[in-house]
């Protein structure tokens, strides 16, 4: 069909896939980008926000600002609630509760994924994952708050519990967060307390696989295990979480033995699941999903029988592609390219091909592991490569400069300048100070 002012493209999700697609769809196409958050987030650095190196403003940018020069693109703050694939319409709910409807000629699904607790969603109340700014700030409260509670505790056993951190999942997020907590304890906080030694903090890393960063291959996995061991991270590989509560975690090892660990903080960095949108789309289109609920799409990213619906980023299931930023960027660009050709009446039969630019994981200052262009390396060279990769992927000049400054203070002077937190979210039964704060009970007053 020919491109006209009536050619409408709706994009669900303002992550890498959605943003890269929106920027490539030019007038006369009318583009609407829908997201329940007002910002684009650089998720790979959330753990640095959680551990005080970078502020949330350095890893997130307002979507309206990023799209300001793209006059044919409109941003809508809303949460998609349903889809009518036959009528090519989507419904969404705005923050004040208003229902709104969007018609489309093309639909790009780029909604990403959420944390999976493998059927134990009750764990989310005390074991936060890390997928959003809210998650990172919650983890910051838990991590820095744990040291404060340990300093306040008078019972040695209680103090040890608060200085014990359990992380579930030894992929990149778990490895990076584990390394940062140990580095925080042994460097940044080492001289700040009078009754505890932050360096005594234990960081326990659990995963059912045999080694950390297993997806990086045996060489880099072994390198990561070695560096984590030097940092003092305790690796519990081949361990599956069987139960968890506010103050402990039970894990079963490969021999079937269950061990209970008393911990003050549990952080969940394992597993992903598709959002409810994927199930709604599957029901409306007859599309199949994988075990995580992601939509199985064709080589052209479309759903069977619905060439106008393209699935991108983490939400798509295609050729076992990893859920990384590079896949999201490239799939978003491909979707936009295909739509541009088709609305001009041109045939576009090239399948999506992912060009692997490599993977990188930060271990600690001066240590990282990188797999890129057929090369596997780590140590200081890997760390430098990690720096350049992440500087390049950050959105916006100001964010790049801000990240460099944050890293400079953290890496050269052991300073983490983004450590502000509140204790309202402290994981104790009665809440901070023995009561919960709220509009009826302001801080500093009794309920």
CB neighbours of residue 71 within 10 Å: 9
Q: Is 183 helix (H, G, I), strand (E, B) or coil?
A: helix
Report the C-alpha gap between 44 and 11 in whole angstroms.
22
Nearest in space to 10 (alpha carbons), one of 226, 312, 396, 227: 312
Report the C-alpha gap between 258 and 94 in whole angstroms.
46
Catalytic residue among 56, 176, 183, 342: 176
To which residue do tokens 């390394």 refer? 179
* 221, 211 Cβ separation under 8 angstroms: yes
376: which 2 tokens? Answer: 């596997």
Task: Give 191's contacts (C-beta < 8 A, 6+ positions apart).
Answer: none
CA distances from 17 to 34, 92, 259 (A): 13, 20, 42
What is the number of H-type helices and E-type strands within the chain?
12, 25
To which residue do tokens 């409810």 refer? 276
Angular region, 194: left φ>0, alpha ψ -120 to 50, beta rest: alpha
Identify whether 418 is a catalytic site residue. no
Q: DSSP readout, 80-113?
A: EEEEETTTTEEEEE-TTS-EEEEE-SEEEE----
Report the C-alpha gap between 149 and 432 in whole angstroms.
10
Sequence length of the chain is 447
Going 204 to 206 to 211 to 213, the CA torsion angle's sign is negative
Residues labelled as active-site residues: 176
């Amino acid at each position: 069909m020919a491109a006209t002012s009536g050619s409408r493209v709706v994009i669900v999700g303002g992550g890498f896939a959605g943003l890269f697609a929106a920027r490539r769809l030019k007038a006369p196409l009318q583009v609407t980008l829908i997201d329940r958050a007002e910002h684009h987030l650089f998720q790979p650095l959330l753990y640095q926000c959680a551990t005080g190196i970078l502020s949330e403003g350095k890893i997130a940018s307002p979507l309206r600002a990023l799209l300001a020069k793209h006059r044919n693109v409109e941003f809508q703050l809303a949460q998609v609630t349903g889809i009518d694939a036959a009528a090519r319409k989507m419904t969404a709910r705005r923050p004040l509760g208003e229902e709104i409807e969007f018609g489309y000629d093309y639909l790009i699904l780029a909604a990403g994924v959420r944390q999976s607790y493998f059927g134990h969603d009750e764990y989310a109340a005390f074991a936060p994952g890390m997928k959003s700014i809210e998650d990172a700030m919650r983890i910051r409260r838990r991590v820095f708050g744990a040291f404060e509670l340990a300093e306040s505790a008078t019972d040695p056993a209680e103090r040890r519990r608060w200085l014990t951190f359990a992380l579930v999942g030894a992929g990149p997020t778990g490895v990076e967060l584990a390394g940062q907590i140990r580095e925080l304890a042994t460097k940044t906080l080492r001289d700040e307390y009078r009754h505890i030694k932050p360096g005594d903090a234990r960081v326990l890393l659990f995963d059912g696989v045999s080694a950390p960063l297993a997806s990086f291959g045996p060489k880099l996995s072994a390198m990561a295990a070695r560096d984590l061991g030097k940092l003092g991270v305790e690796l519990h590989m081949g361990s599956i979480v069987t139960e968890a509560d506010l103050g402990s975690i039970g894990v079963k090892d490969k021999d079937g033995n269950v061990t209970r660990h008393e911990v003050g903080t549990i952080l969940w960095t394992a597993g992903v699941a598709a959002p409810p949108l994927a199930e709604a789309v599957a029901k409306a289109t007859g599309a199949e999903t994988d075990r995580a609920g992601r939509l199985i799409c064709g080589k052209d990213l479309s759903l069977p029988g619905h060439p106008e619906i393209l699935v991108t980023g983490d939400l798509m299931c295609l050729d076992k592609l990893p859920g990384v930023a590079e896949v999201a960027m490239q799939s978003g660009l491909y979707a936009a390219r295909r739509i541009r050709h088709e609305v001009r009446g041109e045939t576009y039969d090239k399948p999506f091909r992912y060009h692997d630019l490599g993977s990188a994981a930060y271990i600690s200052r001066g240590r990282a592991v990188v797999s890129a262009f057929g090369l596997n390396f780590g140590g200081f060279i890997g760390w430098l490569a990690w720096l350049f990769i992440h500087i390049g992927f950050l959105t916006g000049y100001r964010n790049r400069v801000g990240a460099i400054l944050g890293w400079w203070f953290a890496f050269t002077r052991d300073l983490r300048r983004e450590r502000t937190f509140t204790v309202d979210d402290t994981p104790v039964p009665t809440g901070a100070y023995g009561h919960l704060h709220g509009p009826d009970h302001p801080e500093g007053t009794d309920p």
